[in-house]
Structures are given as structure tokens and as C-alpha cells.
Amino acid sequence: MAKVLVTGAAGFIGSNLSGRLLDRGDTVVGLDNLNSYYDVNLKKARLSRLEGRDGFLHVNMDLEDRNGIAELFAKEKFDMAVNLAAQAGVRYSIDNPLAYVDSNMVGFAHLLEGCRHSKVKHFVFASSSSVYGANTNMPFSVHNNVDHPLSLYAASKKANELMAHTYAHLFRIPVTGLRFFTVYGPWGRPDMALYLFTKAMLAGEKINVFNNGKMRRDFTYIDDIVEGVIRVLDKIPAPNPNWDSDKPDPATSKAPYRIYNIGNNKQVDLMSYIRALEESLGIEAKMNMMEMQPGDVPATWANVDDLVADVGFKPQTTVKEGINRFVEWYREYHKI
């Protein structure tokens, strides 16, 4: 049993992860500021599944609160920390870049400082498939350089990886970054495609289909994401004794640092994804075909060989199964 800090505990991934950690007997301090980027009521509903459970404490705090974060680490003396709090969304970062600097970079630095001074045994943090940016060599490998982000969101996640490596090197804090690939499922974010499509289709409205439908994504079901996070959390990274500074491997280091992809290791055409949703809802989608959005990419695809080799896990949930579970939850939650 461990005491674990989970930031973003009222979020999609954070709430699900917190529940799984509690199930296995860990103590969880869930930090979340319940901001209004999307429906606060959904965040409160997620949080209500955790509050009242033995071993759970919610702390309402901003990551940007330097003194508050420092005091929290000093008081609670966490064994491990998982950072899932962030200003999310690629498109939102086009219009609101400073929100990403404040939360994703300044706030992240405060967490690193907390881990440093309280000697946390393992710091796991959410990165994103968006860091691959202009890369087109697929499937995306953690051993490839990711130096050409296409949005500030992606740049902030790449910055997190660099900052974490620095702390692993200087202070020997074991850190692991997880690049998530298009997470979906029950309790998902309302700004994500599946939620938006479902809401519009049930209302008889058109759905916005970007790049005229010529998009491919590595859709990853929430339970697979959570299982991957837990397995990685339990595997504290060690320095790579074979790391070569003449041929540096971006995924490992002489420091206790590791990067993994967590994706379904499959590409799914967006139109096939929509057809699976049509079948699940029993509704034919009306589509508004649109151009590619700034900062977006036409395709993602995760190479998960390192995840399989190191923690013995590979996501397996099919899109059809995952969409059916989401639709079932959506109808129940919204009473439709």
C-alpha cells in the first residue's frame, strides 16, 4: 500500500485511476481545482464516485499555487505522485496559449519541486501523442526525436518531458512520462470527438468532421490507459547502463528516466469510428465536412513495444466494444 498524489483527480483519466488505486488499497490524495474549461458538473459527478471512500482525500488547489503545493507535499509525504492535471486541448491552445504555460509548465515545475524536497519514490506524468507533431514515421516510437510540435499544447508536453529529465538527472528522482493516444470511454471529456458526435447525433444535428474525414487515430480505451498507468507506476525506472551519449536514446537516460507510449497499437480511420458510433446509437450521422484544424495532425499510431517489454501490458479493447460502453454510459448519465 502506498500514499499516492493524483493531480487532475476529477478529470477523465485521473478519476478512473484514483478509483483503481483505492480498489487495491492505496491511499489517494486527489488534487483538482475544478476549473470551468468544460462542464464542472461532470467533474463533480466523477469526484462523487471517490469522495466518502476510505483512503481518499480531495484537495481543491491550483498547480500554480507554489506555496500550497510545497505545503501539501511537506504535509502528506507522498510515496508516489501521478500528474494528470493539465490544460487540455490542442485547438484551445491556439486562442489561449498562456493557460498552457501557467498550468502545464509552471504548475509542473511546482510538482517537480515537491517531489524533490519530499523524496518521492516515483513521479509519473501524462505526456501526449501530440508531441510527435510533424513526425510521419509510423508507428510513432519513443526512440524517435520529437522536436517539431505543432501546437503549444504539444510543446508544453514536450517541455514537461525535458523538465522531468533534468530533475531525474540532478536530483535522481525516478520519473516516467506517458504519451497517451486519443483516450475515450465512459466519463470522457465533453470536448472530445466521441462525446461531441454522440451529443449532436442524438439531437439530430450535424457532426463536424475535420480534414474531410481523412483522419486516422490510435483510439485507446480508458480502462487500458489506467491499467498501463498502474503497471508503470509500480515499475520504478532505473538508469539505462547502455545509454550512449554519442547516440542518445530519447526514451531512456543515464538518469532514472523513462518514456512510454500507451496506445491501442492500431490505426482506425475516422469514418470507421463514426460508423461504429452510428451502429451503437442506431442513428445515421449527418456530417459537416471541414478542413484540417491548425495544430492538428492527420494520423497517430503508437508503437508500444517498450511498454509490453517492460511491464507486460498491451491495450486490447476494440473500438466497437469501447464505443458501445461509452454510449451505454452516456444514455444513463444524461438519462436519454
Q: Averaged over 130-146, what is the pLDDT?
A: 96
If pLDDT is split at 50, 70 and 90, which confidence band does 92 have?
A: confident
pTM: 0.96
Taking 90 as the threshold, does the pLDDT of residue 303 lie above it? yes
Taking 80 as the threshold, does the pLDDT of residue 199 lie above it? yes
9-13, 28-32, 281-285, 295-299: which has the minimum mean pLDDT?
295-299
Mean pLDDT of the chain: 96
85-94, 136-145, 188-197: which has the minimum mean pLDDT?
85-94
Taking 80 as the threshold, does the pLDDT of residue 238 lie above it? yes
* 3-class SS string, the chain: CCEEEEECCCCHHHHHHHHHHHHCCCEEEEECCCCCCCCHHHHHHHHHCCCCCCCEEEECCCCCCHHHHHHHHHHHCCCEEEECCCCCCCCHHHHCHHHHHHHHHHHHHHHHHHHHHHCCCEEEEEEEHHHHCCCCCCCECCCCCCCCCCCHHHHHHHHHHHHHHHHHHHHCCCEEEEEECCEECCCCCCCCHHHHHHHHHHCCCEEEEHHHHCCEECCEEHHHHHHHHHHHHCCCCCCCCCCCCCCCCCCCCCCCEEEEEECCCCCEEHHHHHHHHHHHHCCCCEEEECCCCCCCCCECCECCHHHHHHHCCCCCCCHHHHHHHHHHHHHHHHCC
If pLDDT is split at 50, 70 and 90, which confidence band does 295 have?
A: confident
Q: Which residues are catalytic?
A: 153
Taking 90 as the threshold, does the pLDDT of residue 96 lie above it? no
Question: Greater confidence, 268 or 101?
Answer: 268
